Amino acid sequence: MSQLSDSDDTTPLLGDDSSSDASQDEDYRSRWRSIRVMYFTMFLSSVGFTIVITSLWPYLQKVDDSASATFLGWAVAAYSLGQMAASPIFGTWSNYRPHKEPLVCSIILNLLANVYYAYAYLPRTNNKFHVLISRALVGFGAGNVAVVRSYVAGATSLKERTGAMANMSACQALGFILGPALQACLSFIGEHGVTVTVIDLQLNMYTTPALLAAAFCFINIVLVVFVLSDRTIDHIAVLTSNALFFIVMFIFAVFETIITPLSMDMYAWTRTEAVLYNGIIICCIGLQSILVFIIVKVVSVRYGDRPVMLAGLVIILCGFFILLPWGNHYPKIQWADLKNSSLVGEMNKASNHSAEPTGCPYEQTWCQYTPSIHLAQFISSNILIGVGYPACNVMSYTLYSKILGPIPQVRGLHGNGSVALTS
């Protein structure tokens, strides 16, 4: 049985068989070019998730008035379910074939899914299901993060790995920042925007972000095809690590799902206001996350990865606990859907502005006896979750990469791109 010979902290898992200084320098440069492509791929995965998340609820309401808040939950969950289903598929694929194959196929799927989302208004019926399917396909394409994480883990030495994983998490956080920020900027296009008649495309604040994400995917495909140096490693995962990663992403998905409808119900924001204000809020806590990543890298060296992750989970728990309602102020109740009320008719006649209903829908009876969440509570909760989530995120990546271990696959470099074991 072959064994690794005298590997140390400075030896990358996916090295090459050449020992000359020139070859090592070129391999180093090629290795880090490829790692940076993986950073960009992780960044785009985050952008694909967040660039439409604050406008998803208003978009559903616009394209299909039968869409409910419950359906919004399914539409958001579709992304995560698609990613969960795709991750083991792409991971297994990359074990037996070059990394470029699953990466390029997944990114192409992501590109097409974003275009599909932009055209979800076009069918005459069941538009909400087209939105849901498109989000599931975007999530399925984002399943390539399993390939990205394992590639970076294998292309770095043990000494480099924590820093590389932190950088990858920072790229993910940057995607979470720029996604809502881009959506907030594009909200000024408005709900109507312009129509490109030739291709029957409406360019508005809902469709333009998805098309921008599709353009990013095209750039990513070019980089993967022409820059990525293909390497293959074995996926050795521990159930606990995967469970922790699932919990962290589940928490963030719940937070992202409720933030827009919650703010619209509690503060009577219009669809445009909700997209703009929530985009700004998430952008700010994303910037905060960058600072957290820098602090986490220092703190984890002193106290260890697991204590930092536990502290992050406690902070997130406090963030959700703060959202408990209290006081005597209640949300504004929508009256626009009470079509048989003469009072509503008089109010509509007297109103000179848009008839878009704002506030808590009257059929949500809990709004009548549940106190409104104060804006200070809402912002404080965002700040705490913005501290706890990135800490947990980078630690889950770091723990996962360390669990992969320093032993590559037995298959040799020649013929399939894997690294041969030395005797």
Tens digit of each residue's pLDDT (9 = 90 or more) over 118-150: 999 998 888 999 999 999 999 999 989 888 988
Distance (Å, whole) CA 192 – CA 207: 10
What are 33's two structure tokens? 């070019």
What are 381's two structure tokens? 């909760």
Domain boundaries, the chain: 26-325+373-404
What is the average per-residue pLDDT within 170-182?
86
What is the average per-residue pLDDT within 101-130?
93
**Residue 327: pLDDT over 70:** yes
Lowest-pLDDT choice from 249-258, 324-333, 375-384: 249-258
DSSP annotation of 360: B
pLDDT for 213 equals 93
pLDDT for 340 equals 44
What is the average per-residue pLDDT within 153-175?
84
Give the residue with greater pLDDT, 26 vs 41: 41
Contacts of 306 (CB under 8 A, 6+ apart): 395, 399
> What is the CB neighbour count within 10 angstroms for residue 96?
10
Contacts of 321 (CB under 8 A, 6+ apart): none
**Residue 162: pLDDT over 50:** yes
Is residue 224 within 8 A of residue 44, CB to CB? The reply is: no
Tell me the C-alpha to C-alpha distance, in Å, between residue 74 and each of 67, 69, 119, 124, 132. 11, 9, 19, 21, 7
Give the residue with greater pLDDT, 178 vs 345: 178
Phi/psi at 202 (5° precision): -95, 120
DSSP annotation of 372: P
Least Cα distance to 118 among 219, 181, 48 occurs for: 48
Query: What is the residue type of 290?
Result: I
Contacts of 218 (CB under 8 A, 6+ apart): 111
Distance (Å, whole) CA 252 – CA 254: 5
Could you give the dihedral angle defined by the CA atoms of residues 255, 50, 261 and 115, in that order, rounded to the nearest 10 degrees? -140
What are 315's two structure tokens? 């902070």
| Rounded (5°) CA angle 177-303-398 | 50
Mean model confidence pLDDT for the chain: 80
pLDDT tens sequence across 291-318: 888 888 888 888 888 888 889 889 988 9
DSSP code string of 292-342? HHHHHHHHHHHH-HHHHHHHHHHHHHHHHHTT---SS--PPBP-TT-TT-H
**Residue 290: pLDDT over 80:** yes
What is the average per-residue pLDDT within 94-103?
85
pLDDT for 286 equals 81
Query: What is the residue type of 76?
Result: V
Query: What is the residue type of 299?
Result: V
pLDDT tens sequence across 365-417: 888 888 888 888 999 988 998 888 888 888 887 877 776 544 433 333 333 33
What is the average per-residue pLDDT within 217-242?
75
Phi/psi at 250 (5° precision): -65, -45
Percent of the chain whose predicted confidence (pLDDT) is above 90: 22
User: Superfamily assignment of 26-325+373-404 in CATH?
Assistant: MFS general substrate transporter like domains (1.20.1250.20)
User: What predicted TM-score, i.e. pTM, was given to this entire model?
Assistant: 0.65
pLDDT confidence bin for 223, thresholds 50/70/90: very high
**Residue 22: pLDDT over 60:** no
Q: Which residue has the tokens 């980089």?
A: 223
